[in-house]
Amino acid sequence: MSERYAEGMRTRRRVLGDAHVDRAEATKTAQDEAFQTLITEGAWGTVWSSDAIALRERSMLTLALLAAMGNFEEIPMHIRACARTGASRSDVMEAFQHVAIYCGVPKANHAIKLAKATWAEIAEETTAQTEKDS
């Protein structure tokens, strides 16, 4: 394991949480191991680990780019990550407004729909956990 990989795993866990990373690691196979190494070293070990900009801004950029390119599948994961990166709901909505103006209202509209659904899921999970803990 390279130092870049180790740094990537630390950052990935910091941003996405141990439970998410543990689930992803549990499903890793020999077929996708090289791909997982690539994204751990490249995305998480290089881009997300850089201290050039804060994690909050990286979250906003990532969400805007995902929406702008129509890569909607990862938006819920990155909405959840905002709790760890410090990007607020207002920050996310500002990022999606930029998407609407520069890349298209339908893409921003769909991203907002996914964000709202994810925020509702988070609220339900929090309520259920609170009730379980009581």
Domain ranges across the chain: 1-52, 53-133
- The arithmetic mean of pLDDT across residues 68-95, rounded, is 98
* pLDDT 10s digits, 53-63: 999 999 999 99
- Separation between Cα atoms, residue 81 and residue 118, nearest integer Å: 11
* pLDDT 10s digits, 8-37: 999 999 999 999 999 999 999 999 999 999
% of the chain with per-residue pLDDT over 70:
100
- The arithmetic mean of pLDDT across residues 55-75, rounded, is 98
Q: At the top level of CATH, which class does the domain 53-133 belong to?
A: mainly alpha
